[in-house]
């Protein structure tokens, strides 16, 4: 990310460094925290960041053994942190554990998320609150804890939120998920506005229809599966590993002047 100097309450490259900026996707020497890293998109992002050189702290409720094995096989280094992100209780400890393990945390990927499906007229308060707590509330307070660390140390950082196509569209039968992912897009922009000048780069990825546990019901429904595939120009459901390049870009020095975007990785869905 380059060496930063403080100017008028913010951070900037020195004039000498500005003359020697090179494009780099190398994350060697960096540490990333990835939530929901046990499977699916979180696992793919963690493996991709490790492949680019980052040490990765894996956060989740269940075993991260499969992700750890994939990172180890690629020659990377990881730490597993068991945490239930349905509340903000473990937030500070997650960041502290990762920082103590590696000497600091440079990248935060807020991937953990849940979904509840029901018609809007039948949707329960419990399902509303559960989704909003994990998908939006905990994301904010994890980002806050991360930013406090980086700002106090006078060091830059990267935050990548995992949004959704439902950050742009309405969808059906997932009211709290749509609300949370729309809110996450707005939160990404707000934090980018507040923290870009402090060296904290905040962006989001909006995955399209990927082969994950969350989409299993849709893929098993012949009508819905056919309708979804018929709208994807790429012609197939996204494979989790196809998300890795976007994550590496947003985590790397190559995106240092790209704050506040919500980057669709959707096989062309939104272009249709």
Nearest to 59 by CA among 127, 183, 146: 146
SS (H, E, C) the chain: CCCCEEECCEEECCHHHHCCCCCCCCCCCCEEEEECCCCHHHHHHHHHHHHCCCEEEEEECCCCHHHHHHHHHCCCCEEEEECCCCCCCCHHHHHHHHHHHHCCCCEEEECCCCCCCCCHHHCCHHHHHHHHHHHHHHHHHHHHHHHHHHHHHCCCEEEEEECCHHHCCCCCCCHHHHHHHHHHHHHHHHHHHHHHHHCEEEEEEEECCECCHHHHHHHHCHHHHHHHHHHCCCCCCECHHHHHHHHHHHHCHHHCCCCCCEEEECCCHHHC
CA–CA separation, 239 vs 245, rounded Å?
Answer: 12
Query: Both tokens of residue 16?
Result: 């000498």
**56 and 46 Cβ atoms separated by less than 8 Å:** yes
Q: Which of 4, 11, 146, 177 is catalytic?
A: 177
Task: Identify whether 177 is a catalytic site residue.
Answer: yes
Could you give the residue numbers annotated as active site? Answer: 177
């Amino acid at each position: 990310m380059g060496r930063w100097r403080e100017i008028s309450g913010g951070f900037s490259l020195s004039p000498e460094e500005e003359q020697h900026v090179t494009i780099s996707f190398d994350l060697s020497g960096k540490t990333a925290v990835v939530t929901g890293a046990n499977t699916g998109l979180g696992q793919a992002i963690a493996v991709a960041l490790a492949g680019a050189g980052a040490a990765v702290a894996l956060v989740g409720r269940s075993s991260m053994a499969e992700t750890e094995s994939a990172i180890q096989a690629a020659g990377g280094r990881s730490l597993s942190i068991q945490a239930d992100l349905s509340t903000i209780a473990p937030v500070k400890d997650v960041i502290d554990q990762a920082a103590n393990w590696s000497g600091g945390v440079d990248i935060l990927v807020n991937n953990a998320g849940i979904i509840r499906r029901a018609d809007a007229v039948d949707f329960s308060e419990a399902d509303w609150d559960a989704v909003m707590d994990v998908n939006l509330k905990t994301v904010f307070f994890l980002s806050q804890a991360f930013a406090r660390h980086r700002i106090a140390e006078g060091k830059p950082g990267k935050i990548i939120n995992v949004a959704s196509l439902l950050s742009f569209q309405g969808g059906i039968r997932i009211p709290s998920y749509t609300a949370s992912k729309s809110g996450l897009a707005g939160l990404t922009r707000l934090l980018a506005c507040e923290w870009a000048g402090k060296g904290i780069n905040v962006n989001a990825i909006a995955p399209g229809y990927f082969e994950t546990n969350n989409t299993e019901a849709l893929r098993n429904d012949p009508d819905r599966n056919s309708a979804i595939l018929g709208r994807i120009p790429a012609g197939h459901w996204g494979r989790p590993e196809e998300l890795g390049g976007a994550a590496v870009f947003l985590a790397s020095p190559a995106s240092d002047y790209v704050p506040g975007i919500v980057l669709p990785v959707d096989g062309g869905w939104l272009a249709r």
